[in-house]
Amino acid sequence: MASLITPDQFSANQDAEALRKACQGWGTNEKVIISILSHRSATQRKEIRVAYEQLYQEDLLKRLESELSGDFERAVYRWTLDPADRDAVLANLAIKKPDETDYNVIIEISSVRCPEELLAVRKAYQLRYRCSLEEDLAQHTAGDIRKLLVALVTAYRYDGNEINEKLASSEANILHDAIKEKCFNHEEIIRILSTRSKTQLMATFNKYRDDHGSSISKNLLGDGTSNFQKALHVAIRCLNDPKKYFEKVVTKNSCVILSLLETIPSQTNILSLIFCVKVLRNAIIGTGTDENALTRVIVTRAERDLRDIMVVYYKKNSVPLEQAVAQETSGDYKTFLLTLLGKN
Annotation: binding site for Ca(2+): 25, 27, 67, 284, 288, 326, 328-329
Nearer to its own copies, 48 or 232 (CB): 232
Query: Shortest Cβ distance from residue 225 to its own copies (Å)?
Result: 24
Nearer to its own copies, 35 or 195 (CB): 195
Determine the Cα–Cα distance for residues 67 and 23; give it in Å rounded to an integer: 7
Nearer to its own copies, 156 or 327 (CB): 156
What are the start-end ranges of the H helices in 215-301? 216-220, 227-240, 242-248, 257-261, 270-284, 291-301
Q: Applying CB under 8 A, which part among 90-98, 130-138, 220-228, 312-320 lies near its own copies?
A: 130-138
What are the start-end ranges of the H helices in 24-69? 30-37, 42-56, 60-67
Query: Shortest Cβ distance from residue 184 to its own copies (Å)?
Result: 18
Binding mask 195-214 for its own copies (x = CB under 8 A): xxx-----------------
Nearest to 340, CA basis, from 301, 309, 314, 285: 301
Q: Cα 285 to chain center, whole Å?
A: 23
Quick check: 191 binds its own copies (CB under 8 A)?
yes
Determine the Cα–Cα distance for residues 293 and 279; give it in Å rounded to an integer: 7
Quick check: 138 binds its own copies (CB under 8 A)?
yes
Quick check: 131 binds its own copies (CB under 8 A)?
yes
- Please pick, from the candidates 59, 165, 177, 187, the single residue that binds its own copies as defined by CB under 8 A: 187
Q: Is 300 helix (H, G, I), strand (E, B) or coil?
A: helix
Query: Shortest Cβ distance from residue 82 to its own copies (Å)?
Result: 18
Determine the Cα–Cα distance for residues 233 and 252; give it in Å rounded to an integer: 20
Query: Shortest Cβ distance from residue 155 to its own copies (Å)?
Result: 7
Total Cβ atoms within 10 A of residue 205: 22
Angle (CA) 287 103 184, round 5°: 130
Tell me how long the chain is.
344
Q: Applying CB under 8 A, which part among 39-47, 188-196, 238-246, 254-262 lies near its own copies?
A: 188-196
Nearer to its own copies, 124 or 324 (CB): 124
Quick check: 120 binds its own copies (CB under 8 A)?
no
Q: Applying CB under 8 A, which part among 58-66, 133-141, 229-237, 294-302 lies near its own copies?
A: 133-141
Q: Applying CB under 8 A, which part among 14-22, 102-110, 124-132, 291-299 lies near its own copies?
A: 124-132
The answer to whether 3 and 306 are in contact (CB under 8 A) is yes
Quick check: 70 binds its own copies (CB under 8 A)?
no
The answer to whether 51 and 12 are in contact (CB under 8 A) is yes
Nearest to 281, CA basis, from 336, 318, 254: 318
Interface with its own copies in residues 264-303 (CB under 8 A): none
Angle (CA) 289 290 296, round 5°: 130
Quick check: 157 binds its own copies (CB under 8 A)?
yes
Q: Applying CB under 8 A, which part among 24-32, 105-113, 142-150, 275-283 lies near its own copies?
A: 142-150
Quick check: 146 binds its own copies (CB under 8 A)?
yes
Quick check: 156 binds its own copies (CB under 8 A)?
yes
Helix, strand, coil percentages, rounded to 5, for the chain: 70, 0, 30
Determine the Cα–Cα distance for residues 255 and 53; give it in Å rounded to an integer: 29
Quick check: 130 binds its own copies (CB under 8 A)?
yes
Quick check: 181 binds its own copies (CB under 8 A)?
no
Q: Which residues bind its own copies (CB under 8 A)?
A: 119, 122, 126, 130-132, 134-135, 138-139, 146-147, 150-151, 154-160, 162, 187, 191, 195-197
